[in-house]
Structures are given as structure tokens and as C-alpha cells.
Structure 1
Amino acid sequence: MTSAPKTEPVRAFEAAPSEPRPDGTPAEAPAQPPKTSGRRRTILVGALAVALAGAAVWGYHYWTVGRFQVSTDNAYVGADISIIAPKVSGYIASVPLVANSHVNAGDLLVKLDDRDYRVAVQQAKAKVDTQDTTIVRLGKQVEAQLASIEQAQAQLQSAIADEARTAADFTRTSKLATNAFASQQSLDTARADRDKAIAATASARAAVSSAQANLEVLKAEKAEAESTRKELVAALEKAQLDLDATELRAPYSGIIGNKAVEVGDYVTAGKRLAALVPDNGSYVDANFKETQLRGIKPGQKVELTLDTDPDHPVIGTVDSIAPAAGQVFSLLPPENATGNFTKIVQRVPVRVRVPTAELERGHFRPGLSVIATVDTRSGAETSRTAEAR
């Protein structure tokens, strides 16, 4: 019995032999199965190694540096800007200031027409001079009244002497008349002379009192005139201040901005004419979340990155922390005790001091956006010193 010939099984990945198509064109060769590339495996292993290395570096940086840093992009450059405004009203005579230009302390910025104010100063001076003349006149009257008092006192002494003499004459005449050595007429004459002397003495006393009272009146008038002079001097000083206020000068060195004045304009007291930004008075207010404040203390270092110059960060210092969240100082603070309540993370301004050398470069202009990153590890000694104080 003859056995069947053995045939090898067809492998799954082998395709049947190709046969020609009906149109006579040769059939396509069968697709070969994909083979795993050693190059791809190398790339995957390398990428995994790079990822692991990157994660290790990031983890190390976070553990040693990152977890101690607090950052916010809600930070802006600020400055104590002065508003140039007139103290008095009037027409603008000249405007030496130029927009966006630098000025020094004491430079003339705006000058108002000062003719009316000069006239007011002259009038005030004339009133003071007139009052000075009045005071001098009253002083002379006081001196004259003192002389009148001395004269009245002398007349009083004379009257007293006459009274004593006539009283003695009356006593003698009365004795003589009693012994019939003097006539009744002589006695009557002596009595009349005595009474006249007594009346003259009383009149002299009244004249002295009147002279002294007039002296007090003159002294009071002089004191009143001197007080009035003080008022007139104050009015003169006020007029001089108003005259000086017609010249608006720079309170400190800085750059002029927001110019809003031209020659011929009529301005009133307090009207905004321009703004003066100080040279080295800028700072950064970083508004950190309340959840970020725990580790922030004055004296710590802050990395400041301006949006206008992101490639050159600047190292500043935490100067102070606001005593309350920003919403407390808003015009209309929220009332959380009424209506539905939705908790919102509040922000607290942190003032950051910028080095003077960086301010002199002129890059920190008020209003610019900043990214502030506080290193809570720094400033430990400063913080302990502040707490000890």
C-alpha cells in the first residue's frame, strides 16, 4: 500500500502564488510583513531616557528652588506721580514745559498772567503803610496824653495847696470874728474862698482821672491798630503767595507727561495741567493671592521681569505688605453678608523696591506689567531683625 507524499504546511504569512490578471497584466507581489526596526527601539529608549533625566532635573530644581518661589503676573510698575495744577485762576501767559521732557527741581513749568495779582500786592502794601502811619500817630497821642496827665496832676497839687491855704485863712478869720476883731464880711469872704478851693481841688482830681482814662483809650486804640496791622500783613502775605503761585515750578526732578495746557487757556485752581513722574521714585506693586502670602516677608529678594524686556530680569527687594486686601480699599467694597456668597481668592498688594541703578536706566515706567517671583528663602536675617524690633 502506497502512502501519500508528505507536503509541508503553508506558513500563514506566505501568500498564494500570484496568477496573471484576466487582462494579461502581471499581478502585484504579495505584501511582506512589517519588521521591528532596531533604530526605532533606540529612539524610544533615548527619548525615555531624556524624559526621565528632564523629570529628575525638574524634580531636583523644584525640591531645592521651585518650592520656595512664589510668583505672580498680576504686578505693575507704580510711582508717586505729582499732578501739576495751579493754586490760583487766570490766563496762561507762557508754557516752558515740553511733553515727555526731563525737568530739574525748581524749573519753571507754567506761568500765569500775574498783573491782577501784582496790583493786589501793591494794594496790600499800601494798606499796611497806612496802618503803620496810624500806629505812629496814636503813639504820639499817647505821649501827648501822658503830658496832659502830668499837667493835670500839677494842677491838682496847686488846688490842694489853695484849699489848705483858704482853710487856714477861714479858721483865723473865724476866730477873729468871734472876738470881734474881724468883720462878718471878712468871714464870709474867707468861707467863700475856702469852698472855692475845695471845688477846685475836686475839679483837678476829676481832670486827672479824665486824662488817665483818655490815656487808656488811646492805648486801646493803638493796640487795635496794631492788631489790624497784623491782619493787613497777613493779607499782604496772602497776596504775595497768590502772586508767587502764578509761577508753577517742578517740585523735584522728573519727566513731564500728560501735558494738557497751552498759552491763552483760562485755568481755575486745581485744574490738571500736566503730570510729573519722578526720576528714581518707581516701585512695583505685586498683587499676590492670599494663599501665597504665608512665606513672604520684607527683605526677601524678588525677581522682576518686565514684559518690555523679558530677557533681563532685575532683582528687587520686598519693601512692605499692604495691611488689607485690595478690595477693602475699593470705592465700593463687596458686602459678603447679603445675598448668595461665592468665595473668591483675594489679592494683597506687596510693595517691591527696585534698585536705584535699574531705575536710572529708565526701564521701569509706571503702568508697565511685571512678573514678580519672590524667593522665600532669602531675607531671613532681615526678617528676624524686623521681628525683633
Structure 2
Amino acid sequence: MTTENDEPRDEGEAGTAPLPFKYRYKYLHKYGDESPRGEDGETEGKDDDKKDGDSDDKDVKDKDKDKDKDKDKDKDKDGKDKDKDKDKDDPKARRKKVIVLSVIAAVFLLAGLAWLLLYIFVFSQRETTDDAYVKGDMVTISSRIAGTVIEVGVEETERVHQGQVLIKLDPVDARVSLMNAEGQLAQAVREAQAKMQQANQADAAIPQRRAQYEQARDDYNRRHPLLERRAVSAEEVDTGKRQMQQAKAALDAAEREAAAAHAQVDGTTVENYPAVIQARSQFRNAWVNNGRNAIVSPIEGYAARRQVQVGQRIQPGQDLLTVVPLSDLWVDANFKETQLEHIRIGQPVKLTTDMYSDVEYHGKIVGLNAGTGSAFSLLPAENATGNWIKVVQRLPVRVAIDAEDLRKHPLRIGLSTDVNVDTHDRDGRVLSDTVRSKPLASTTVYEQEMGEADQHAEEIIRANTVDATPKPVPARHGS
């Protein structure tokens, strides 16, 4: 096989006829028609076709495919090269590309600069956390005496006023005790007056005994000189002496009785007599216990967690109801210990809640807790063990909510909040150095019970106080 037979020759070369094509199918594929062949060429083509068979056809097809791929690649390269040449040749397109790239670079540069400035002047001056919850006072209502519930006057979610009766107990036992205490007070008042009159009576007996003693003494003094003159007998003188001594002993006894009587009543009145004071305190206790059959609310708020039913037998100190004053709430924000470096008392705070997603509350930091949540837990962590793993702790920071914001959009205890603290002003204190000058919370509903008890006790004392001034004895007619 030679290269002369691979390609056909032109007829104009040296005036010779084209040589026969050795591979007929290749020729047909490349040139699309048959060239005249001699007999030798036909026989050779036939023999080759018989010898090579189908393998030659496969090789021809594979080579043709490779050539087509190479042509396509060459076309693509040519097209790209042409585009590049066009770009190089076109200054407007090149200038446009430079401008677009410059604008993109400038945008990214400005975005990075804006982010840097935002972090320096805003984000670095803020501390945020979503581990924050609304807290408030929860006043537990309990009974101070044992009794049976006969009335429940409030349900959960209802408004409760200070002094409002929430629960009533069976008053029978308390009323019986009150009547008994009232009788004991009246009896103590009368006994006190009797003691005072006994002291006066003892005082009145002293002059009588003194007069008897003086009379016996004078009789003895008169008879004793007459004994030498034998004007009286010795027996009569001895009798007078004994009568004088008896009168003196009676006078001394009367003085001692008067002193004992005065020891019980001197320096006192009916109101402050010891027995009266004791009876009066028992009466107060009975009066208050009778009033405690009506359990009242000590504060304004809303009822929650009702655990009492009519007919239930309750004991002193048992939880019956909870009253929550929603007008005085705060937020405990649990910041990580790595966030506490720049937090100070008095810094402004912005709050948002899931309940009012479009409402922003305002407040300020009023204090940092004295310990982390784990330190005050029921079972504190033992960090001195060998399998210790460091965990970032959180410290509760108390945030006071603006009262006007709280009035417009009331919150509930336990709601989650997002806290944003502005730490720009870092001159404040970390620990509070002020001492509270007035009570945190107070109520006067129980003082009213004591005032009513004292008033009623005074009425009982006045009703049982009698005029002990001795009245003069009227003179008899004709005497």
C-alpha cells in the first residue's frame, strides 16, 4: 500500500490518467463519486474488500469522526480568537469592561467600608441576647386559719382590687370564739374594778384599826399608874395591856392588807390592768380570726393559678390563689459572661417581644445579679471534678420597663424577649451602692382589722366600767 493510491491525482499532471483508488468507501465518503478504474483496480478493491471486511469500515468512520471534532475545535478557537481580536481592536468595548469592573469593585469596597463603620460605631456599642424573659411579683394567697371554704369570689384572668374578698370560710367556730373572748374581757374589766375597790376598802379599815389601838393604849396608860395606888387590880391592868397589843396587831394587819391591795392596782387603770390587757388581746385574736374567714387580696392585680374549690377543708399556709400585679414587671436578661464587660447600671435598653412583634419597649438596667443561675440552683455544678468541661455561664441582668410602654402594651410573666443594650456610656456602676429608703411593697388591709378590733374592745370596756364613788348615806328623820 502506497501513498500514491490514497489520494486521486489530477488529470492535468503530466497528462496521465488518475490512478485507481484503493479504498473505495473512503473515496466515496471523501469525494462523493466514483472515479473510473481499470480492471486491476477493481480486482484489487474487491480483493481488499474481501480481506479487510468490516474492520476497514470501522477505522474509516472513527477517523472521520476525529477529523470532524478537530474541525469543530478549530472553528471554536478561530471564533474566540476573532472575538479577542475584535475586543483588542475595539477600544469602546474594552473601556466599557473596565468601567463595569471598576463599579463592581467600588460597590464591594463601599459595602465593606460601611460594614466596618457600622461595626465600630454601632455593633461594638451594643450587647444583645434573646435569653431574656419577663418577670414579676407573684403574690400567693393563703389562709391564716383552718376552715371550710363556703365561697370563691374570683376566677383566673379576672381583675382583683386591693381589699377585695377572694375566698370565704365557714364563720361558726370563729364567732363562738369571739363571743367567749368578749365575755372574758367584760369579766376582766369588772374584776379590775373590784380589785381597786378592795384596795380602797383596805385603806378605809386602817383608820378604824388605828382608833381602836389608840383607845386601848389610852385605857392602859390610865390604869397602869393606878396600880401603885391599888386603885385598880393587876388583872384589870393586864387585860388593858393585852387589848392594847391586840389593837396594835390589828392595825399592822390592816396596813399590810392595804399595801397588798394597792400592789395589785397602783399605777394602773381599768384599761391597762394586766388581766384586762390579757383579755383584750384574746378578744383581738378572736376578732381578727373571725375577720380572717374572709380572705382578701393585699394588692391590685390579676388572679391566676386558682387551686381552691367550694367545700374544701384548708389549713393555714396552704396555697389557694395567686395574684399578679401586671403594672410592675421587669425583664431578667441572661447575658453570657463574655458580654458583661461593658454593661453598666443605668444604660438604656430596647426590648422586643414575640407577643408584640412591631412594638419596641424602652427601659434601663437597674442591677446585675449577685451570682449566675447555676450558682443558685438546687444542685450547683461541681467544677472540681476530674471530668470538668467548661461551659460559658450566664448572669441575670435586671431591666426595668418603662411604665407608659407597659400600660399601652401589657405583658405577661414568662414571655420571651429580645434585649438590646446600648453600652456607649460606660461610666456607670457595676454594683449598686444605694440602700433602699422605703419598702419595696406594702399593704394596709390587715391594719384595718386590728383597728376595728381595738374599737370594739374599747366599747366593751366602757360598757362594763361602773362608777365606784361611794354615795353618801342619807340621814334618818328625827335623829
TM-score bracket, normalised by the shorter chain, equals 0.7 to 0.9
Q: Is the 8 A contact 2:301 2:324 kept in 1?
A: yes
| Correspondences of 1:172-321 after superposition (within 5 Å) | 173=229, 186=230, 189-220=232-263, 226-321=273-368
Q: Specify the alignment match of 1:100 in structure 2.
A: 157
Structure 1 205/30 Cα, relative in aligned 2: closer, same or farther at 3 Å? same
d(CA) in 1 for partners of 2:235, 2:433: 101
Q: Specify the alignment match of 1:57 in structure 2.
A: 114
Amino acid at match of 1:93: I
370-379 or 79-88: which moved more?
370-379
Shift of 1:128: 0.9
Over aligned residues, Cα RMSD in angstroms?
3.4
Amino acid at match of 2:139: S
Shift of 1:116: 1.3
d(CA) in 1 for partners of 2:250, 2:376: 75
Structure 1 99/46 Cα, relative in aligned 2: closer, same or farther at 3 Å? farther
Shift of 1:78: 0.3
Q: Specify the alignment match of 1:162 in structure 2.
A: 219
161-170 or 366-375: which moved more?
161-170
Whether 1:350 and 2:397 are equivalent positions in the alignment is: yes
Amino acid at match of 1:307: D
Amino acid at match of 1:70: E
Shift of 1:30: 5.7
d(CA) in 1 for partners of 2:168, 2:108: 69
* Unaligned ranges ≥5, structure 2: 1-12, 14-29, 33-60, 62-67, 84-92, 436-479
Amino acid at match of 1:98: E
Whether 1:70 and 2:117 are equivalent positions in the alignment is: no
- Give a deviation string over 1:233-288, Cα, whole Å, max 9, x none: 11111111111211122222111111222222222111212111113110001111
Q: Is the 8 A contact 2:126 2:423 kept in 1?
A: yes
d(CA) in 2 for partners of 1:387, 1:78: 23
SS in 1 for 2:246: helix
**1:331 counterpart (364, 375, 378):** 378
Q: Is the 8 A contact 1:279 1:360 kept in 2?
A: no
Q: Is the 8 A contact 1:166 1:190 kept in 2?
A: no
Q: Specify the alignment match of 1:368 in structure 2.
A: 415
Shift of 1:230: 1.8
| TM-score, length of structure 2 as denominator length | 0.66
d(CA) in 1 for partners of 2:180, 2:433: 61
Amino acid at match of 1:327: S
Structure 1 40/203 Cα, relative in aligned 2: closer, same or farther at 3 Å? farther
Q: Is the 8 A contact 2:169 2:293 kept in 1?
A: yes
Shift of 1:44: 8.1
Q: Is the 8 A contact 1:298 1:379 kept in 2?
A: no
| Correspondences of 1:82-93 after superposition (within 5 Å) | 82-93=139-150
| TM-score, length of structure 1 as denominator length | 0.80
d(CA) in 2 for partners of 1:205, 1:77: 87
- Give a deviation string over 1:97-148, Cα, whole Å, max 9, x none: 1210112222221111212111111110101111212222222222222111
d(CA) in 1 for partners of 2:97, 2:245: 141
SS in 1 for 2:210: helix
Amino acid at match of 2:195: L
Shift of 1:357: 0.7
Q: Is the 8 A contact 1:301 1:378 kept in 2?
A: no
Q: Specify the alignment match of 2:169 in structure 1.
A: 112
Structure 1 263/44 Cα, relative in aligned 2: closer, same or farther at 3 Å? farther
* Unaligned ranges ≥5, structure 1: 5-16, 174-185
d(CA) in 2 for partners of 1:143, 1:256: 61
Shift of 1:338: 4.2
SS in 1 for 2:398: strand
Q: Is the 8 A contact 1:301 1:379 kept in 2?
A: no
d(CA) in 2 for partners of 1:92, 1:313: 45
d(CA) in 2 for partners of 1:366, 1:202: 89
d(CA) in 2 for partners of 1:48, 1:98: 67
d(CA) in 2 for partners of 1:236, 1:143: 29
Structure 1 44/191 Cα, relative in aligned 2: closer, same or farther at 3 Å? farther
- Give a deviation string over 1:196-241, Cα, whole Å, max 9, x none: 2222221111111211222233345558993233222111111111
Bigger fraction of residues in strand: 1
Structure 1 372/274 Cα, relative in aligned 2: closer, same or farther at 3 Å? same
- For the pair shown, the structure with the greater C-alpha radius of gyration is 2
Instruction: Give the length in aligned residue pairs.
Output: 351
Q: Is the 8 A contact 1:301 1:318 kept in 2?
A: yes
Amino acid at match of 1:199: R
SS in 1 for 2:202: helix
**1:149 counterpart (176, 182, 206):** 206
Q: Is the 8 A contact 2:326 2:410 kept in 1?
A: no
SS in 1 for 2:367: strand
Amino acid at match of 2:246: S
Once the two structures are aligned, what percentage of the paired residues are identical?
28
SS in 1 for 2:344: coil
SS in 2 for 1:165: helix
